[in-house]
Amino acid sequence: MTLRVLGVDPGLTRCGIGVIDSAGGRRATLVSAGVIRSESEDPIDRRLLILARGLRAAMEEHGPDVVAVERVFSQNNISTVMGTAQVSGIAIVEAAERGIPIAMHTPSEVKAAVTGSGRADKKQIQTMLVRLLGLEAPPQPADASDAVAIALTQLWRGPGPVALDATGGARTSAQSVWARAEREARRARERSTSRH
C-alpha cells in the first residue's frame, strides 16, 4: 500500500510544498515540489488567503494520507516567527477539514532524519535528497527542498500522525482507516478518468 505524505515548510513569503510516495521501507518517490508565494507588500489578510488557497489546492490535487508541517521554533525575529506560525496554523486547519492526520517536526529532527546529523546545513540536506530520491538535482527553490525533507522525516522517523477529525477532535483508528480508504478510492477514480 502506497503512503503519500505532503510536507509543508511554512513561510509567509514562500511556503514550501513537497509530496512524496512510499511503498514501505526507505523507498520513496518524489511526486511534486514547489512553493506558494505571497507578496510582502500585500496586507496580511491577503497574503494568508493566498497561502490558504494554495495549500487547499495542493491537498485537493495530491490527496495525501498525512500532512507533515515544520514545527515553529523560537527565533530572534518575532515577526518571522509570527508569520511562520500563522501559515502552520492554516496548513493544520486545511488538513483537519479534510480528515487528514497531521504531524509536526522540528528543524533538527528533519536534519537528523535526512542526513543523520541534527546540525546539517541546507546543502547537505539537498545532496541527500538527490541521493535518496534518485533525482538529477534538488527541488528548487530551497523552501521546496525543505518541504520534501519534512515529508521524508514523517515517512522514516516521524512520531505517528496527530489524528484530528474535521472538528479538531481526536479521530479513532476506524475513522482513520475509513478516511484513507476514501482517499484511495478517489485516487483510483481520478486515474480511471484520466485514462479516458
Query: How much is the average pLDDT of 97-113?
Result: 94
Q: For residues 116 and 51, which has the higher predicted lDDT (pLDDT)?
A: 51
| Residue 70 annotated to the active site | yes
Range ranked top by mean pLDDT from 87-91, 105-109, 111-115:
87-91
Question: Which pTM does this prediction carry?
Answer: 0.80
Question: Which pLDDT belongs to residue 68?
Answer: 97
Range ranked top by mean pLDDT from 22-31, 139-148, 164-173:
139-148
What residue spans define the domains of the chain? 3-195
Question: Which pLDDT belongs to residue 56?
Answer: 98
> Mapped to the 3 state alphabet, what secondary structure does the chain carry?
CCEEEEEEECCCCEEEEEEEEEEECCEEEEEEEEEEECCCCCCHHHHHHHHHHHHHHHHHHHCCCEEEEECCCCCCCHHHHHHHHHHHHHHHHHHHHCCCCEEEECHHHHHHHHHCCCCCCHHHHHHHHHHHHCCCCCCCCHHHHHHHHHHHHHHHCCCCCECECCCCCECCHHHHHHHHHHHHHHHHHHHHHHHC
Output the CATH code of domain 3-195.
Answer: 3.30.420.10
pLDDT band at 74 (very low <50, low <70, confident <90, very high): low
The answer to whether the annotation marks 70 as part of a ligand binding site is yes
Q: Please identify which of the residues 65, 70, 94, 146 carries the catalytic annotation.
A: 70
pLDDT per residue as tens digits for the range 117-159 = 989 999 999 999 999 999 999 999 999 999 999 999 998 875 5
Q: Please identify which of the residues 21, 65, 94, 143 carries the catalytic annotation.
A: 143
